[in-house]
Amino acid sequence: MTQSLKSSSDPGTYVAPRGTPFGSAYTAPAATRTIIATSGSSVSPITLGAGAANDTRLVGLMIGSTMAGQIAIDGWTIKNTTGGSSAAQLVIAAAGIGYISAPGCLNDAGALKVTLGATADHGKVAADWYPA
């Protein structure tokens, strides 16, 4: 079951949390848009949410103009075939402009952090997210 986000910043969808009965009423929270930029020549990570595991859901990233470097996102877990898991980093290569959708992805391995690979990219990326 999916519903439209209650936000004018993104027309994406929201997946209801596990355990929500099919067909039941569920109001999706409004998304927050954060421009990814730091001061000066720093490429420090920007933390979305409160900075703890399982506290933030990523809706997507808006890339406003051509990137000089890559985008790295931390806070995920990858499960392996033996049942174990490990923290992982999602890396998005420098690419064209547009919206990358990640409807409701939960940061299950730690703080959700977005890092730009080049200082020239400051202000070119916006992250849409909401508290879990």
CATH number of the domain bearing residue 85: 2.60.120
When pLDDT is cut at 50, 70 and 90, the band that residue 15 belongs to is low
Q: What is the pLDDT of residues 90-111, one digit of tens each?
A: 888 887 789 988 877 888 888 9
pLDDT, position 36: 82
Q: Would residue 70 count as lying in a domain?
A: yes
Count of the separate structural domains present in the chain: 1
* Residue numbers of the domain that contains 98: 30-131
Q: Would residue 99 count as lying in a domain?
A: yes
Q: What is the pLDDT of residues 23-82, one digit of tens each?
A: 555 566 677 888 887 666 778 889 999 999 999 999 889 999 999 999 999 998 887 778
Rg (CA), the chain: 15
Q: Would residue 94 count as lying in a domain?
A: yes
Rounded to the nearest 10°, the torsion over CA 90, 3, 35, 92 is: 20
When pLDDT is cut at 50, 70 and 90, the band that residue 85 belongs to is confident
